[in-house]
Chain A
Amino acid sequence: MKALVDGKKCTVCGVCSDVCPFGAITVGETSVEISDECTLCGMCVDTCEFGAISLPEVGAGPAADLADYNGVWVFAEWRDGTVHKVSYELLGAGRQLADKRGVELAAVLLGHGLGEALSSELIAYGADVVYLVDHPQLARFTNEAYADVLVDLIHKKRPEILLAGATSIGRSFIPRVAASVRTGLTADCTELDISEEGLLLQTRPAFGGNVMATIVCPNSRPQMATVRPKVMRPVRQPEHPGRSEVIEVSDGIFQNRVEVLEVIPEQDQTAKLTEADIIVSGGRGLGKAENFVLLEELAQLVKGAVGASRGAVEEGWIAPSHQVGQTGRTVAPTLYMAVGLSGAIQHVVGMQGSKIIVAVNKDREAPVFDVASCGVVADLFEFIPAFIRKIKQERE
Chain B
Amino acid sequence: MHIVVCIKQVPDTKNVRIDPDTHTLVRQGVESIINPFDLFAVEAALQIKDASSATITVITMGPPQAEEALREVLSRGVDAALLLSDRAFAGADTWATSVTLSAAIRKLGNVDLILCGKQAVDGDTAQVGPEVATLLDIPYATFVKKMEPLDAQHLKVTRQTDEGTEVWKLSTPALITVIKEVGEPRLPSLRHKMRAKKAAIPVWGIAELGLDANDVGLCGSFTQVVRVFSPPRRTDRVIIEGSLEEQVEQLYRYLKEAKVPGI
In the bound complex, what is the Cα–Cα distance between A320 and B180 (angstroms)?
9
Residues of B close to A374: CB separation below 8 A:
237-240, 251, 254
A55-73 interface bits toward B, Cβ cutoff 8 Å, 1 = contact, 0 = none:
1101111000000000000
Knowing A184-B93, A212-B229, the reply to whether A175 touches B223 (Cβ < 8 A) is: no
In the bound complex, what is the Cα–Cα distance between A144 and B174 (angstroms)?
12
Q: In the bound complex, do residue A179 and residue B98 qualify as a contact, i.e. CB atoms below 8 Å apart? A: yes
Kindly state whether residue A99 has any CB partner on chain B within 8 Å: no
Residues of B close to A18: CB separation below 8 A:
24-27
Q: In the bound complex, do residue A179 and residue B130 qualify as a contact, i.e. CB atoms below 8 Å apart? A: yes
Kindly state whether residue B197 has any CB partner on chain A within 8 Å: no
Select the stretch in A35-43, A102-110, A119-127, A152-160 that faces chain B: A35-43
Residues of A close to B110: CB separation below 8 A:
none
Total count of chain B residues near the partner, CB < 8 A: 98
In the bound complex, what is the Cα–Cα distance between A188 and B126 (angstroms)?
10
Knowing A21-B25, A56-B218, the reply to whether A394 touches B252 (Cβ < 8 A) is: yes
Kindly state whether residue A101 has any CB partner on chain B within 8 Å: no
Q: In the bound complex, do residue B130 and residue A172 qualify as a contact, i.e. CB atoms below 8 Å apart? A: yes
Select the stretch in B67-75, B158-166, B200-208 that faces chain A: B158-166
A-B CB contacts (within 8 Å), total count: 321
Q: In the bound complex, do residue A207 and residue B180 qualify as a contact, i.e. CB atoms below 8 Å apart? A: no
Q: In the bound complex, do residue B263 and residue A211 qualify as a contact, i.e. CB atoms below 8 Å apart? A: no
Select the stretch in A4-12, A213-221, A240-248, A284-292 that faces chain B: A213-221
A212-253 interface bits toward B, Cβ cutoff 8 Å, 1 = contact, 0 = none:
111111111000000000000000000000000000000000
In the bound complex, what is the Cα–Cα distance between A22 and B9 (angstroms)?
11
Residues of A close to B122: CB separation below 8 A:
206-208
Which has the most chain B C-beta neighbours within 10 Å: A168, A209, A265? A168
Q: In the bound complex, do residue A375 and residue B237 qualify as a contact, i.e. CB atoms below 8 Å apart? A: yes
CB under 8 Å from chain B, chain A span 252-269: 255, 257-267
Say which residue of B25, B26, B87, B95 sits within 8 Å of A1 (CB atoms).
B87
Q: In the bound complex, do residue A213 and residue B227 qualify as a contact, i.e. CB atoms below 8 Å apart? A: yes
In angstroms, how far is the closest chain B Cβ from the Cβ of A44?
Answer: 9
In angstroms, how far is the closest chain B Cβ from the Cβ of A331?
Answer: 10
Kindly state whether residue B189 has any CB partner on chain A within 8 Å: no
Kindly state whether residue A346 has any CB partner on chain B within 8 Å: yes
Residues of A close to B258: CB separation below 8 A:
335, 356
Q: In the bound complex, do residue B251 and residue A387 qualify as a contact, i.e. CB atoms below 8 Å apart? A: yes
Chain A residue nearest to B32 (CB atoms) is A22
B239-263 interface bits toward A, Cβ cutoff 8 Å, 1 = contact, 0 = none:
1110011011101101100101111
Total count of chain A residues near the partner, CB < 8 A: 115
Q: In the bound complex, do residue B234 and residue A373 qualify as a contact, i.e. CB atoms below 8 Å apart? A: yes
In angstroms, how far is the closest chain B Cβ from the Cβ of A282?
Answer: 17
Chain B residue nearest to A59 (CB atoms) is B219
B171-189 interface bits toward A, Cβ cutoff 8 Å, 1 = contact, 0 = none:
1001000011100000000
In angstroms, how far is the closest chain A Cβ from the Cβ of B62?
Answer: 9
Q: In the bound complex, do residue A373 and residue B238 qualify as a contact, i.e. CB atoms below 8 Å apart? A: yes
Kindly state whether residue B107 has any CB partner on chain A within 8 Å: no
Q: In the bound complex, do residue B169 and residue A20 qualify as a contact, i.e. CB atoms below 8 Å apart? A: no
Residues of A close to B63: CB separation below 8 A:
36-37, 39
Q: In the bound complex, do residue A171 and residue B219 qualify as a contact, i.e. CB atoms below 8 Å apart? A: no
Knowing A179-B130, A373-B234, A373-B236, the reply to whether A210 touches B16 (Cβ < 8 A) is: yes
In the bound complex, what is the Cα–Cα distance between A208 and B163 (angstroms)?
24
Kindly state whether residue A46 has any CB partner on chain B within 8 Å: yes
In the bound complex, what is the Cα–Cα distance between A45 and B241 (angstroms)?
41
Select the stretch in B43-51, B76-84, B133-141 that faces chain A: B133-141
Q: In the bound complex, do residue A175 and residue B25 qualify as a contact, i.e. CB atoms below 8 Å apart? A: no
Q: In the bound complex, do residue A275 and residue B14 qualify as a contact, i.e. CB atoms below 8 Å apart? A: no
> What would 20 more interface pairs be, CB under 8 Å, given A173-B130, A215-B224, A263-B166?
A22-B30, A39-B90, A56-B91, A60-B220, A79-B163, A175-B127, A175-B131, A183-B95, A185-B127, A210-B230, A211-B18, A216-B226, A218-B224, A220-B222, A257-B138, A259-B170, A263-B165, A334-B261, A349-B13, A382-B244
